[in-house]
């Protein structure tokens, strides 16, 4: 993997991330394909919508269908029919999101499967081996993600364990065609974030991620610390903010100097009749759309907006037709990809602050 920053506008930056399976222009948003699929959308639809890189999940793919099966069938790219870059997370977020079914020691995380109750042990070494089996372009170190309301002692212990696990991931990682990223934890505590970032940067990973955001804190709390935390990371490596994906959050993160983002919002909201637009979200179930011949967003070139009216989409959701969630998910992914392209263009033209201000005003959102 190669990465270069091509231009900056304050901390905001445009970069070029080169992988074996293609180039990603940053800042970039990765649609989430947890179980080797972005829900409801085909790889061709994702490419046409502008997606550059997808994210898949180590924990879920290990449980079903199994990383060995995926490896036997030619790796994750062939298995899911996506020829572009793929990033796999390590299972560290599931330590937080599935905490009721998980316990951790310094050696490993031990899960009780949410599917059938069987036990899954995920050590740093196993997390790396699984991701090497999957064949993703970017793999993530196993980390421990504490919740926002964790005690100071809990946060310190999670940082200590994250550093310990990163050392073990680095030591066992072997694939030369796969980049391994370290993950900085520490909650809203800048001292803990700094100590974690210092330890990880000393290990010289090819990229770095910020974990432990969007796990219960208010947006303003995150915005307050992001510039300082981003500045702790090397300027010549990609910087990935994990699991944060509201458009206004992305703008704040780009303004802080971050490059990569993922979130389930485009497809989750699409399945629930909510569409993203430059003027804010709209709910297609609302009666006001029943006879509306307009597309979701005038000027949008996605397939959904070119072909279908709000009235038709309203009908699909009221009739519980599966095409409704598919078409709205497609629009939302295309919206995010276009949004990221507009961000990159604004940075290149040295007008990102203005772009952010205008967009937030249209959404009625405070910076």
Of the candidates 246, 209, 212, 249, the residue with the CA atom closest to the CA atom of residue 230: 209
Distance CA 314, CA 3 (A): 43
Q: How, if at all, do strands 282-283 and 274-275 pair?
A: antiparallel
Contact 53, 30 (CB under 8 A): yes
Specify the residue for token string 């270069």: 4
Please say if 89 is a catalytic residue.
Answer: yes
Q: Helices 219-230 and 190-202 meet at what angle, rounded to 10?
A: 40
Distance CA 239, CA 235 (A): 8
> Cis omega before residue 62 (within 30°)?
no
- Please return the burial class of 257, using the count of CB atoms within 10 Å of its CB with bins 0-12, 13-18 and 19+: buried
Among the listed residues 137, 143, 259, 262, the single catalytic one is 262
Q: Determine how many CB atoms are found less than 10 A away from the CB of residue 45.
A: 18
Among the listed residues 9, 67, 89, 249, the single catalytic one is 89
Q: And the tokens for 30? A: 């990765």
Contact 167, 142 (CB under 8 A): no
Q: What residues act catalytically?
A: 89, 262
């Amino acid at each position: 993997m190669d990465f270069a920053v091509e231009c900056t506008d304050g901390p905001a930056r445009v970069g070029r991330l080169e992988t074996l399976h293609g180039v990603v222009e940053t800042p970039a948003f990765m649609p989430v394909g947890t179980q080797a699929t972005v829900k409801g959308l085909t790889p061709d639809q994702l490419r046409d919508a502008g997606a550059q890189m997808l994210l898949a999940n180590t924990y879920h793919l290990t449980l079903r269908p199994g990383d060995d099966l995926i490896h036997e069938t030619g790796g994750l790219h062939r298995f899911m029919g996506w020829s572009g870059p793929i990033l796999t997370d390590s299972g560290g977020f599931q330590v937080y999101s599935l905490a009721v079914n998980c316990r951790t020691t310094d050696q490993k995380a031990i899960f009780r499967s949410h599917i059938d109750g069987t036990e899954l042990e995920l050590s740093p070494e196993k997390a790396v081996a699984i991701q090497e089996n999957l064949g993703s372009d970017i793999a993530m170190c196993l980390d421990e993600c504490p919740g926002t309301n964790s005690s100071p002692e809990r946060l310190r212990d999670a940082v200590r364990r994250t550093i310990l696990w990163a050392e073990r991931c680095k030591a066992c990682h072997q694939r030369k065609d796969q980049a391994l990223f370290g993950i900085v934890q520490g909650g809203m505590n800048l001292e803990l974030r700094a100590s974690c970032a210092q330890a990880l940067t000393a290990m010289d990973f090819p990229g770095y991620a910020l974990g432990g955001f969007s796990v219960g804190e208010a947006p303003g709390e995150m915005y307050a610390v992001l510039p300082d935390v981003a500045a702790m990371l090397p300027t010549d490596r990609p910087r990935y903010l994990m699991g944060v994906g509201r458009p206004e959050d992305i703008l704040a993160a780009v303004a802080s100097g971050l490059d990569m983002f993922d979130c389930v919002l485009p497809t989750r909201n699409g399945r629930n009749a909510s569409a993203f637009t430059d003027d804010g979200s709209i709910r297609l179930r609302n009666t006001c759309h029943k006879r509306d011949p307009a597309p979701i967003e005038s000027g949008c070139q996605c397939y959904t907006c070119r072909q279908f009216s709000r009235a038709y989409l309203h009908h699909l959701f009221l009739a519980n037709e599966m095409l409704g969630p598919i078409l709205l998910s497609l629009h939302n992914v295309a919206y995010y990809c276009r949004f990221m392209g507009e961000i990159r263009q604004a940075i290149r033209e040295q007008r990102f602050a203005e772009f952010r201000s205008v967009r937030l005003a249209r959404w009625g959102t405070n910076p």
